[in-house]
Amino acid sequence: MLSSLIDPTGRHISYLRVSVTDRCDMRCVYCMAESMQFLPREDVLSFEELLRLCQVFVKQGVRRLRITGGEPLVRRDIGPFFEALGSWLHRPEQMGALDELTLTTNGSRLSHYAETLFNAGVRRVNVSLDTLNPERFAQITRRGKLAATLDGIYAARKAGMAVRVNAVAMAGVNDDEFDSMLAWCGEAGVDLCLIETMPMGDTGEDRTATYLPLSKVKKDLMQRWTLTPLPDRTGGPARYMRVEETGQRIGFITPMSHNFCDSCNRVRLSCTGRLYTCLGQEDGIDLREIMRAGGDDQAILAGIQDAIARKPTGHSFLLGDVSGRVEGPARHMSVTGG
C-alpha cells in the first residue's frame, strides 16, 4: 500500500531511518568531534519505545526501515531488536508489513553480528569505508582499525548479505584512492557509493578545504572505467552506474552539487525520539515527549503527521566552493542518524 504520510509537495513517506544510539567507537572527521559529549542513558529511547514508534510508521505504509547510529552495533542487546523488526517482514500487509530492513554501520562489529542480522531478515548493509590504507583509515576515523571493518564486510558477504561501501569523497584526503577502491570492490563483490561531505555539526575540521564535487570525480573516473547509467534505486538518494569492468555498481550521493530533494521519501528518527523531516533542517517534533507523557498511538501519529505537514521542499546545505559560505544544522550527523 502507498504510505498515508504525505508531505506538502505530495511525496509519500515510505522510508524511515532510525538511530538507536548517538554513541560510536570511531570519531570520523566529517561526522564527529574528537571529544564528544554523549547523551545520558535516560534520554535515549528504550528498544520497546523504538519498536512502538516504528510500528506506528509501518502501520501508515512505511515499507523500509534502516537502522543507524552513531554506530548501531555498539548498543547492547541489538540482536533481539533486529529480530523483532525482522518479524514484520513476513506478516500480512494490513498488520503493517515491511519490504526491507537494512543497516548502516562502520563495520567494526559486523563480523560478530553478520549471521544474526541475516537470520533477522537483513539482506543489505551499508558499510562506511573511506580508504583502504590502514594509516589513513586511523587518521580519518581517529581510532578505528581497517582490519576490523574489512573483516565485517567479508563476514556480511559470507552470511549472504549484499554490501555497499560508503566513502565520503574528500579532496586531498582520499581522492587518490577511488580507482583502487573501485577495483577492490569488484574483487570483493560489493558496490561503492561516493558521498559529498555535508556541513553538519562542529567536527573540529575545515570541511570547506576537503569538499569535492562528485561531478568532477565521475568525469575523471570515466576516463579509465566504463560507467553505464542504471535506473536502480534502493530507496535512498544514490544514483547508480554499472562498472562494466567489474560488474559491480558505483553510486553517487550529491547533496551539495546536485541535490535530490524532489524525490525525497525519507524521514529520520533520532535515538532520543525526535523526528527530523529533513537531514539538512532542524524542524521536527519530539515524539518521546508525547510517548512518555502517556500519549496513545493516535497522539503519536498526530505528531508525526504535523511534522510531515511541514517537511521542507529541500535542504539548505551550503559549503565553501558551492556558495562561499558554510551553512548546515548545528547537530552532528551521529545525532540524527545518516
Q: What ranges do the domains of the chain cover?
A: 15-336
Residue 143 Ramachandran class (φ > 0 left, ψ -120 to 50 alpha, else beta): alpha
278 is an annotated ligand-binding site residue:
yes
Residue 261 labelled as part of a binding site: yes
**Residue 266 is assigned to a ligand binding site:** yes
105 is in an annotated binding site: no
Q: What is the pLDDT of residue 321?
A: 47
30 is in an annotated binding site: yes
Reference 54, options 100, 10, 8, 17; nearest CA is 17
CA distance 123 to 101: 8
Per-residue pLDDT, 337: 60
* Sign of the CA dihedral running 239, 128, 195, 225: negative
Query: Is there a binding annotation on residue 264?
Result: yes
Strand-pair category, 124-128 with 162-169: parallel
C-alpha span between 258 and 171 (Å, rounded)? 18
| Mean pLDDT (10-residue bins), the chain, 338 residues | 89 95 93 86 97 97 96 97 96 85 98 98 98 97 96 98 97 96 98 85 63 94 98 81 98 75 86 90 90 98 96 62 48 56
Is 323 annotated for ligand binding? no
Residue tagged 570483493 (cell numbers): 188
Q: What pLDDT does 282 receive?
A: 72
Q: Is 32 within 8 Å of 332 (Cβ atoms)?
A: yes
Residue 314: all three cell numbers together: 529541500
The cell for 157 is: 558477504
Instruction: At 166, list the grid cell.
Output: 560508503
Give pLDDT, residue 324. 44
Is 271 labelled as part of a ligand binding site?
Answer: no
Does the annotation list 198 as a binding residue?
A: yes
Annotated binding residue 28: yes
- 15-336 adopts what CATH topology? TIM Barrel (3.20.20)
Beta bridge partners of 164: 126, 191
Q: Is 31 annotated as a binding residue?
A: yes
Task: Please report the pLDDT score of residue 210 as a whole number.
Answer: 87
Q: What is the largest CA-CA distance in the chain?
A: 60
Is the pTM for the entire model greater than 0.85?
yes
Strand partners, 135: none
Which stretches of 74-145 are DSSP H helices?
78-86, 110-120, 134-141
pLDDT of 75: 97
